[in-house]
Structure 1
Amino acid sequence: MTCPSLLTRRPAVGDAVDSAVTWLRAEDTLAQFARFVLVGVSTTLVYALLFSVLERLGYLPAHVAATAVSTLLANEMHRRLTFHAGERVHWLTAQLEAGGITVIGLLLTSTSLGVLNSLVPEASVATQVALVVAVTGLVGLMRFIALRWLFRPRATTA
């Protein structure tokens, strides 16, 4: 005879993954923030790779180039994935809205790198990237707030 406990369906790992994916696609603030963080982490990895490759040009040119590329990618991913606004918001609009905050972030991270470079001229690439990641995390929180609440489409009143 088959044990009755074997007949009851136990949740599979796939069910948990499906639930997580379903939740991650939701439109609530927490799901959007989770997507925002995932995009931020992935584009920060792109930044770190580009910065490491270009660092021999000097920290500032490497930083500016890596920031430009990773920001364009992040803005597009936020438009399509984080906020599901691919149909509502044009590419250029998304770049311009997030671009102002990016300029603030670029100024803060560049200043931070300049201070680090003057205090510790032989700072490793890993230390420089870690500093940029920390400052970018704070700026990223400002970006999320701006993109989630300030730049969101307003409901039309009839």
Structure 2
Amino acid sequence: MLRREWLDRTARVTRYLRGDHAFAQLIRFALVGGSSNIAYVLLFIATNGISPLVANVAGSIVSTVIANEMHRQLTFRAAGRVGWFTAQWEGGGLAVIGLLISTAALAGLGFVAPGLGEIAQAGAVIAIMAAVGVLRFLALRGFVF
């Protein structure tokens, strides 16, 4: 009987996560982000011998393209409404805006609190990136897809 209950709960959770609710989309958004970060790291490692700058740019571009397409097809299920180029152009633009915001926030942090320790800096980076991620999710959900 316990196995049947577990299977029923698993099926309900799976149905929910496949739905179009904002929280289900947010979970898929985070999973896509994690997957694209793995792609970035792998490409960075593969091209780092050329130059760290080239590796960073290549990894950023390829992982952003992957993430935008996965968001179009999986996170927001917008493949029928939004074309590939539109998703790349608008999603890529949001990624650049997010990069500018996070860079400005980190530069501001360095100016306002130059003596922060490594743990506090890491915490600030996590908070800034989380805030940028939430803003990107809302913009993608509201304006792109």
TM-score normalised according to structure 1 size: 0.67
Q: CA deviation at 1:110?
A: 7.8
| Equivalence for 1:93 | 86
Which of the residues 70, 75, 84 maps onto 2:68? Answer: 75
TM-aligned CA distance change 1:55 to 1:104, over 3 Å: farther
Task: Identify unmatched segments of 5+ residues in structure 2.
Answer: 107-121
- Provide the aligned length of Structure 1 versus Structure 2: 125
Contact 2:44 2:59 in 1 (8 A): yes
Whether 1:29 and 2:22 are equivalent positions in the alignment is yes
Q: CA deviation at 1:142?
A: 2.2
| Equivalence for 1:54 | 47
| Equivalence for 1:42 | 35
Compare the two structures and name the one with the higher helix fraction. 2
Q: How is 1:108-119 mapped onto 2 (pairs within 5 angstroms)? A: none
Q: CA deviation at 1:149?
A: 1.7
| Equivalence for 1:126 | none
Q: CA deviation at 1:69?
A: 0.8
TM-aligned CA distance change 1:139 to 1:65, over 3 Å: farther
Which one-letter code corresponds to 1:21 in the other structure? T
Q: CA deviation at 1:102?
A: 1.6
TM-aligned CA distance change 1:54 to 1:44, over 3 Å: same
Cα distance in 1 for partners of 2:132, 2:43 equals 20
Cα distance in 2 for partners of 1:63, 1:109 equals 16
TM-aligned CA distance change 1:57 to 1:141, over 3 Å: farther
Cα distance in 1 for partners of 2:42, 2:63 equals 10
Cα distance in 2 for partners of 1:16, 1:50 equals 38
Any idea what SS the aligned residue of 2:48 has?
helix
Task: Identify unmatched segments of 5+ residues in structure 1.
Answer: 1-8, 113-129, 153-158
| Equivalence for 1:18 | 11
Percent of aligned pairs sharing the same letter: 44
Max Rg structure: 1
Which one-letter code corresponds to 2:59 in the other structure? A
Which one-letter code corresponds to 1:50 in the other structure? L
Runs of 4+ residues deviating >6 angstroms: 108-112
Contact 2:72 2:87 in 1 (8 A): yes
Q: Supply the RMSD in Å over aligned alpha carbons.
A: 2.6
Cα distance in 2 for partners of 1:12, 1:38 equals 26
